Amino acid sequence: MNEIIKKNASELVDLMASGELSATEITKAHLDRIAEINGTINSYLHVTSEAALAVAADVDRRRAAGEKLPLLAGVPIAVKDNLTTTDAPTTSGSKILEGWIPQYDATVVTKLRNELMPILGKTNLDEFAMGSSTEFSAFGPSRNPWDIERIPGGSGGGSSSAVASYSAPLAIGSDTGGSIRFPAAVTGTVGHKPTYGAISRYGLIALASSLDQIGPVSRNVLDAALLQDVIAGHDPHDSTSLPESLGSMAEAARNGSVKGMRFGVIKQLSGEGFQPGVKKRFDETLALLTANGAEIVEVDCPSFEYAIAAYYLILPAEASSNLAKFDSVRFGMRVNPGENATIERVMAATREAGFGPEVKRRIILGTYALSSGSYDKYYGAAQKVRTLIQRDFEAAFAKADVLISPTAPTTAFKFGEKVDDPLAMYLNDVATIPANLAGTPGIAIPNGLADEDGLPSGVQLLAPARADARLYKVAAALEALHEAGWGKRMMDFAPELKVGA
Ligand code: GLN
């Protein structure tokens, strides 16, 4: 394996600054890696080699000319395929959008281009970001580099597997109920769901607009912080975008500390009933924090019990409305049902052929929840639960600076294990969904390997709205404590990927 691809983003920045590596060498090394393993691991749906190499060459030229460059210039990145790009297809993992090339770049993509970061390609996801395993992608699942018979998490399993398999140092994800954090947990990587509104959603193909949030995916906390600093900020194109800056995440990550911080263990998410190895590592982390000057307190969030139920009413309701625009007239695929083709029949035939089973399930559920007679009973009730969850968070943050829980109940499961059991699949997000319902930030970092299966487990830290920097400060410190204990980086435990197996 070419050692270049094992470097973190911050290391690549230094190696370019000192002249030891060029942006072209770095980009080529990653493209070679993709050519070598993507056939097996399916992280990328589209690889944009030429465009990436052109940006890299531009960076090298400018550097040689003595130009002052943006911090992450020349660091390659992967982008989830639910963000629009003018130079590559954007499918959102669905057949209904196959071949569609958008007319505009998502704001996040524009920011990456302005930073001169070579975009390696677009990563796989469950169709319209509905799922936890990538098994609902219309283009086949991505695989977990730790064990290619297992899921890399979802919906952002393309981004997590790309970063975990060294096919990209950084990636962009989106998190509606856990799609950045769950994949991070099961691949031993880092993912952050920022405060709602911290990063523009303009150009993100909406799943559930009141829950969706774009965020960074990386192999360490500092890299995620550096990337968030590039993509965050107010955007007039997104009416929910926060007007103010939340400060420098990189500065917070560089000043990591847990001393004197109060960590709230959520009674309902303390790991009870989770996979034993996940719970064991979690308890060890609590002890590690205490030993390093942090205080552990218990907080009670009784309404979290209803989070999944509320989420699976609010999300399908919003999704059914957001997906109504895929009607065969404006985007992508069109199916002609033959004779007597009316516009309604063309739409119906296209949606029947273009959407997969999970998308159809949620459209039906959402349309029902919004129908007159059901609206108050289901959608209205779910919105009330949402308020109760926000109040639980408020009460918890009166007692604790950050909250802590395992990111997910289990390590990566095998393909096929949950795909036919929607409820089992939905339970993966039991710990991540509350932050989406409340609009608050959450970061997932590796928490060691579970004893039973030797696979990565994750720990999640949660903070009040706008306190993203606090999360980076605490997560960076915890990461350093972990690595000191383990004696190496999390990814150094990963077995060598069996290519072609
Ligand atoms: N797994 C969750 C779902 O299926 C989360 C999806 C997401 O965050 N995009 O809805």
Confidence at residue 339, expressed as pLDDT on a 0 to 100 scale: 86
- Arithmetic mean of pLDDT, 260-286: 97
- Arithmetic mean of pLDDT, 432-461: 98
From the list 336, 324, 362, 328, the residue with the least C-alpha distance to 95 is: 328
- Ligand 1 centroid to Cα of residue 177, in Å, is 5
Query: Which amino acid is located at 425 in the chain?
Result: M
From the list 254, 235, 267, the residue with the least C-alpha distance to 111 is: 235
- Residue 367: pLDDT band by 50, 70, 90 thresholds? very high
Q: Is the pLDDT of residue 359 over 80?
A: yes
Of 94, 136, 137, 155, which is best to mutate to test ligand 1, by the most ligand atoms within 8 angstroms of its C-beta? 155
Per annotation, catalytic residue among 10, 142, 159, 179: 179
- Ligand 1 centroid to Cα of residue 142, in Å, is 16
Confidence at residue 496, expressed as pLDDT on a 0 to 100 scale: 86
User: Atom 10 (ligand 1): residue with closest C-alpha?
Assistant: 130
Strands 402-406 and 295-299 turn out to be unpaired
Per annotation, catalytic residue among 10, 132, 155, 241: 155
Is 10 a known active-site residue?
A: no
User: Is the CB of residue 146 less than 8 Å from the CB of residue 164?
Assistant: yes
Q: Is the pLDDT of residue 500 over 80?
A: no
Is 80 a known active-site residue?
A: yes
- Arithmetic mean of pLDDT, 295-321: 98
* Claim: this prediction has a pTM higher than 0.85: yes
Confidence at residue 501, expressed as pLDDT on a 0 to 100 scale: 43
DSSP conformation class of 191? E
Rounded to whole angstroms, the Cα distance separating 269 from 298 reads: 11
Q: Is the pLDDT of residue 102 over 90?
A: yes
From the list 156, 121, 125, the residue with the least C-alpha distance to 140 is: 125
Domain ranges of the chain: 3-301+394-493
- Ligand 1 centroid to Cα of residue 128, in Å, is 9
Report the SS3 class of residue 296. Answer: strand
- Arithmetic mean of pLDDT, 235-255: 98
User: Is the CB of residue 319 less than 8 Å from the CB of residue 207?
Assistant: yes
Residue in the block written with tokens 């995440």: 249
User: Atom 4 (ligand 1): residue with closest C-alpha?
Assistant: 131
Confidence at residue 394, expressed as pLDDT on a 0 to 100 scale: 98
Q: Is 144 close to ligand 1, i.e. is its CB under 6 Å away?
A: no
DSSP conformation class of 376? I
Q: Is 429 close to ligand 1, i.e. is its CB under 6 Å away?
A: yes
Cis? peptide before 155, omega within 30° of 0: yes
CA angle at 91 for the pair 156 and 31, rounded to the nearest 5°: 65
- Residue 9: pLDDT band by 50, 70, 90 thresholds? very high
Higher pLDDT, 375 or 471: 471
**Residues near 139 by Cβ (< 8 Å), separated by ≥ 6?**
42, 45, 91, 93, 124
- Ligand 1 centroid to Cα of residue 447, in Å, is 22
Sheet holding 442-449, edge to edge: 44-47, 119-123, 77-80, 170-174, 214-218, 190-193, 442-449, 456-462, 402-406, 262-266, 295-299
* 55-90 pLDDT, tens digit each: 999 999 999 999 999 999 999 999 999 999 999 999
Confidence at residue 1, expressed as pLDDT on a 0 to 100 scale: 74
Residue in the block written with tokens 């911090």: 71
- Ligand 1 centroid to Cα of residue 465, in Å, is 21
Higher pLDDT, 436 or 423: 436
Calculate the alpha carbon distances from 54 to 60, 83, 215, 230, 296 in Å: 10, 21, 25, 20, 50
- Arithmetic mean of pLDDT, 278-290: 98
Q: Is 425 close to ligand 1, i.e. is its CB under 6 Å away?
A: no
Higher pLDDT, 252 or 1: 252
The helix (run of H) or strand (run of E) holding residue 193 is strand 190-193
Instruction: Provide CATH code, domain 3-301+394-493.
Output: 3.90.1300.10
Phi, psi of 138 (to 5 degrees): -75, -10
Is 200 a known active-site residue?
A: no
Plot region of 197 (φ>0 → left; ψ -120 to 50 → alpha; else → beta): left
Confidence at residue 99, expressed as pLDDT on a 0 to 100 scale: 84
